[in-house]
Chain A
Amino acid sequence: GAVVSQHPSRVICKSGTSVKIECRSLDFQATTMFWYRQFPKQSLMLMATSNEGSKATYEQGVEKDKFLINHASLTLSTLTVTSAHPEDSSFYICSARWTGYYGYTFGSGTRLTVV
């Protein structure tokens, strides 16, 4: 149980275009999802907290206009990287928590390469 599916696993896009990453809870309802960014050999950096039906809460230093988060249903959150640039290339991971379960399930991550 508690499976989170993240797609795509890899994406290459041209500079200036937008890319959407999906995070879907398959067998539970996720009122809260989290988006992380991970640079090579580094830890996970929390970008934002996504709450179903409300605006996402962004961490300090994260550009909300560049990283658009939508959590329109209890099973789906999306991260859109707008006007992507090479410096946005990174590994993005989502996670979701169960209602009442103090722990998190992670998606398998998306490797974004902007060329």
Chain B
Amino acid sequence: AQTVTQSQPEMSVQEAETVTLSCTYDTSENNYYLFWYKQPPSRQMILVIRQEAYKQQNATENRFSVNFQKAAKSFSLKISDSQLGDTAMYFCAFMNLLGDNTDKLIFGTGTRLQVFP
């Protein structure tokens, strides 16, 4: 069974600084997707970034980038130029591509990020 581990329950960063959130996963599959989701106090889940396992290039979305190390099964999220609005819970998630429309997301336990002014 696949598992997703986020070893940092809480992190803090000062505004405009850079922070990295860690995520490791365990799978025997080769074809999968990885995601980072943000859940602000409103509790709406928001997709931050997505990485296809077959792509070697790390995904980037504006201030958000990932360091995807497939052999090490590591998928960290780097937030550059942190903003107060980045304060939220961040969940790493794994999806195995079964191809039968039952692919489901497996979430890590989350990291609570606080951005200070």
Q: Is the CB of B97 within 8 A of A93?
A: no
**Which of A43, A46, A102 interacts with B110 by CB under 8 Å?**
A43
A38 and B103 alpha carbons, distance in the complex (Å): 20
Given the known inter-chain contacts A31-B101, A44-B91, please indicate yes or no for A106 contacting B45, CB distance below 8 A.
yes
**B:42-59 near A, CB below 8 Å:** 42-47, 50, 52
A115 and B35 alpha carbons, distance in the complex (Å): 36
Given the known inter-chain contacts A32-B102, A44-B91, A46-B104, please indicate yes or no for A103 contacting B43, CB distance below 8 A.
no
B95 within 8 Å of A (CB atoms): yes
Complex interface bits, A95-115 against B, C-beta within 8 A gives 1, otherwise 0:
101010011111011000000
Chain A residues positioned under 8 Å from B104 (CB to CB): 34, 46, 49
Given the known inter-chain contacts A43-B107, A49-B104, A57-B102, please indicate yes or no for A108 contacting B35, CB distance below 8 A.
no
How close is A53's CB to chain B, nearest CB, in angstroms?
12
Given the known inter-chain contacts A42-B109, A44-B91, A44-B107, please indicate yes or no for A51 contacting B35, CB distance below 8 A.
no
How close is B50's CB to chain A, nearest CB, in angstroms?
6
Q: Is the CB of A32 within 8 A of B101?
A: yes
Our count of residue pairs bridging A and B at CB distance below 8 angstroms stands at: 54
Chain B residues positioned under 8 Å from A104 (CB to CB): 47, 105
Q: Is the CB of B102 within 8 A of A109?
A: no
Closest to B105 in A: A104
B-side interface residues toward A, CB under 8 Å?
33, 35, 42-47, 50, 52, 91, 95, 97, 101-110, 112
What 6 A-B pairs come out closest when comparing CB atoms?
A106-B45, A43-B107, A43-B109, A32-B101, A44-B107, A102-B33
A-side interface residues toward B, CB under 8 Å?
31-32, 34, 38, 41-44, 46, 49, 51, 57, 91, 93, 95, 97, 99, 102-106, 108-109
